[in-house]
Amino acid sequence: MDDTALTALRRRNYLLTPWPWRSLLYVASTPVVALLGWPLALPVVPLVALLVSLTRDSTVETGTAMVITGVSVACWAVLAPLLAVPLAALERHRLRLVRPEPTRGGHRVPPSTGPWSWLVTRYTEAATWRAVAYGTLLTAAAPVFYLFALGWVMFAVALLLAPFLVSENDVMHLVFVEVSTPAEAWPWTPLGLALVVTTPYVVGLTAWVHGLVAAALLHEPAASARLHTELVEVSRSRARLVDGFEAERRRIERDLHDGAQQRLVGLTLQLGLAKLDVPDDSPAAATVAKAHEEAKALMAELRDLIAGIHPQVLTDLGLPAALRELADRTALPVTVRSDLGERPAAHVESTAYFVVAEALTNAVRHGHASQAWVRAYREKGQLIVEVTDDGRGGARPDRGTGLTGLADRAATAGGRMLLSSPAGGPTVVRIELPWVRATERAA
């Protein structure tokens, strides 16, 4: 089978192939599809009225037309995608008549199964608005194009039937002449026959042009679709890896807290009791006392290690409280400001927390700062965290100060890191993370 209707049109045996009938079926079914999508052409009427009013001097008419046009276009922008998406799906099935190659829509898969997720995905993707553009062209511009093809067919039929329909009382207009007798109409019959023979070609060409426009707006190439699918899968696998790392970190924290820390607490208590039982003047008293102090120091280090793996306050009270606790433990004054409202997903909070912790550590060790400021807020669907210090500046990712690790950590959560650190300071580390609710990530 030929690839397209145009390829079939170039063959000498075109009339003997199924393509004329396929093209005719496609052209004949187009008005039905256009009728289903007629609301997509509604803004055309007020737009024409507005253009007409602009040619006049009536300010009242122009103002009224502008209001009506604005309301119509606004309503169209809200409702058009809901009609264009199923209309485009129907058109992709119908395109098989003139394009045997399957037509792929390119619509993204919603992140969750809720209706709001579906609406947000559809209204924010290019494939939906390409479908709207096609639906508008189909209902507003295609009728003019199809009137030409219909006029061609009607004119050919009129030329063929003119000798049988004309009479002295019923004059017919053919091109630029009038015929009133069969004798005057017969010379035009060969032209009508030629037009009838070429009608399948006109229908095929019309179907090919329509299919070409439809495919340009509704079809996503296989390579692009495959790339999009692979990118989606990479994003999902990265999210699964982040969740897996987070779960593993929590398991290690739990094992240390419930296992090693509890045993170390028991050992510290036993050494404390042994210290009480051993006389102060005994040779073992100093050794037991030193072992007791070492056990307490080790327990403090283990407690800090567990907090560094995942602070419990972050799980219980959220990011603002965890940032304030982190500021209290930092070796320089830190001012924390947060305005988040609700809590984001756990992986977003964890990423933001550890980025702030690393940034403050860099400010102390490498920036020699005397003060730092942390601000966390939500803006345009993102969690923004900014860490500013008054250190000497000059921070660069290629100097091994952990900045590359911060950028990588932000990237694993789908965000990015921005750095401003001129020589002499101040240094500003800004992290932008997508705001994800816990329910959305779970879905």
pTM greater than 0.75 (yes/no): no
**Nearest-angstrom CA–CA distance, 403 and 362:** 9
pLDDT at 112: 66
State whether 277 and 357 are in the same domain: no
Measured in Å, how far apart are the chain's first and last C-alpha atoms?
Answer: 45
State whether 93 and 152 are in the same domain: yes
Most confident of the ranges 15-29, 175-189, 237-251, 391-405: 15-29
pLDDT, tens only, 86-100? 888 888 888 888 877
Most confident of the ranges 7-16, 42-51, 163-172: 7-16
Q: What percent of the chain has pLDDT over 90?
A: 1
Q: Residues 348, 435: contact at Cβ < 8 Å?
A: yes
- With residue 108 as reference, give the H or E element that holds it: none
The Cβ of residue 328 has, within 10 Å, a number of other Cβ atoms equal to: 9
Asked whether the CA dihedral 274, 279, 283, 286 is positive or negative, the reply is: positive
137: pLDDT confidence band, cut at 50, 70 and 90? confident
Q: Flag whether 234 is in a domain.
A: no
State whether 66 and 204 are in the same domain: yes
Q: Flag whether 380 is in a domain.
A: yes
292: tokens are 């007791």
Q: Flag whether 65 is in a domain.
A: yes
**Nearest-angstrom CA–CA distance, 241 and 96:** 41
- In CATH, what number is assigned to the domain containing residue 405? 3.30.565.10
Residue ending a domain, choose from 293, 309, 325: 309
State whether 54 and 175 are in the same domain: yes
Given a cut of 80, is residue 432 above it in pLDDT? yes
Residue ending a domain, choose from 289, 309, 329: 309
Q: For residue 429, what are the β-bridge partners?
A: 387, 419
Given a cut of 80, is residue 18 above it in pLDDT? yes
Q: How do 334-339 and 372-379 pair as beta strands? A: parallel
State whether 138 and 180 are in the same domain: yes
The Cβ of residue 136 has, within 10 Å, a number of other Cβ atoms equal to: 20
352: tokens are 């933001």
Backbone angles phi and psi of 381, in degrees to 5: 75, 20
State whether 76 and 198 are in the same domain: yes
Domain that holds residue 301: 240-309
Q: Flag whether 233 is in a domain.
A: no
Given a cut of 60, is residue 404 above it in pLDDT? yes
Q: Flag whether 104 is in a domain.
A: yes
pLDDT, tens only, 376-394? 998 888 889 999 988 888 8
State whether 320 and 358 are in the same domain: yes
Task: Tell which wins on pLDDT, 135 or 257.
Answer: 135
**Nearest-angstrom CA–CA distance, 169 and 212:** 47
State whether 261 and 143 are in the same domain: no
pLDDT at 238: 58
Q: Residues 346, 437: contact at Cβ < 8 Å?
A: no
Given a cut of 50, is residue 72 above it in pLDDT? yes
Q: Residues 126, 105: contact at Cβ < 8 Å?
A: no
State whether 97 and 40 are in the same domain: yes
pLDDT at 237: 57
Task: Give the mean pLDDT of 151-179.
Answer: 71
State whether 407 and 298 are in the same domain: no
278: pLDDT confidence band, cut at 50, 70 and 90? confident
pLDDT at 223: 43
Burial classification of residue 348, based on how many CB atoms lie within 10 Å of its CB (0-12 exposed, 13-18 middle, 19 or more buried): buried
If DSSP codes are grouped into helix, strand and coil, which group holds residue 246?
Answer: helix
Residue ending a domain, choose from 159, 191, 220: 220
In 39-193, DSSP assigns E strands to: 172-174, 177-179
Burial classification of residue 16, based on how many CB atoms lie within 10 Å of its CB (0-12 exposed, 13-18 middle, 19 or more buried): exposed
Q: Flag whether 283 is in a domain.
A: yes
Task: Give the mean pLDDT of 42-52.
Answer: 61
Closest of 393, 383, 362, 373 to residue 327, by C-alpha: 373
Q: Flag whether 230 is in a domain.
A: no
Q: Residues 95, 215: contact at Cβ < 8 Å?
A: yes
If DSSP codes are grouped into helix, strand and coil, which group holds residue 176?
Answer: coil
Closest of 272, 273, 252 to residue 261, by C-alpha: 252
State whether 259 and 379 are in the same domain: no
If DSSP codes are grouped into helix, strand and coil, which group holds residue 417?
Answer: strand
255: tokens are 């094992």
Given a cut of 60, is residue 2 above it in pLDDT? no
State whether 188 and 284 are in the same domain: no
Task: Give the mean pLDDT of 347-366.
Answer: 85
The CA distances from residue 202 to 106, 111, 313, 326, 435, in Å, are 31, 46, 74, 76, 55
pLDDT at 441: 47
Q: Flag whether 226 is in a domain.
A: no
Domain count, the chain: 3
